[in-house]
Structure 1
Amino acid sequence: MLVNWSDEIKKIDPDIKFRANGGWLKTVDELDKSVKNGYSLVGDFVKAGDFEEEYDEGLYLDCNKEDKKTVDYRLFRFKDNKIRLLDMVIDGKQNWATDLWDAVEDEL
């Protein structure tokens, strides 16, 4: 699936300050509940930005740093050439990843 990640995330959230202060995108291939932080969402980091990139179908986690203190996390499903927002944590704190566990389990 060929996607411009910046364009796609702005369609879902037009007010987002996309990558204003950094961030990343990664696959989510499994869940490791032995840890309660972001390492519980096991996968590989992938390129994302204002350019076209090829993505496989699957679960993806986007981390967007809107300012130096606010970090948002969005869980997406890429399937059938469509991107669907499954869950999000706005202004995530220490155990933000556990808030996404139910959605991840439903999708894996």
Structure 2
Amino acid sequence: MSAAIRRVMICGRVQGVGYRAWVEREAMMRRGLEGWVRNRRDGGVEALFYGPADIVSEMVALCRRGPSSARVDDVTDEPAGPDSLNLRHAGEGFSVLPTV
């Protein structure tokens, strides 16, 4: 099975509704993906997912719905390189990063 790294930008009412915690739980705990998630100053959420391509695609699709308290207006995703994983905190497979 091939691996994929995807960078995802989520827009809508996605801050202050537990979106980052939801992404961390769905990606790391339920699907075993690596990566990170963070809020953006523009009001969006950005995430990076690494793992089996089909599981990464499944996670990207889930981001289009988000947790029940969120309202997702738009999701864009693009391939990313392995260097993007270096943003994670040392020793963590999946990190919640500070706002950028």
Q: For the superposition of Structure 1 and Structure 2, which TM-score range results when normalised by the shorter chain? A: 0.3 to 0.5
RCO (CA 8 Å, sep 6+): is it higher in 1 or 2? 2
Between Structure 1 and Structure 2, the one with more helix by share is 2
Scaled by the length of structure 1, the TM-score of the pair is 0.31
Bigger CA radius of gyration = 1
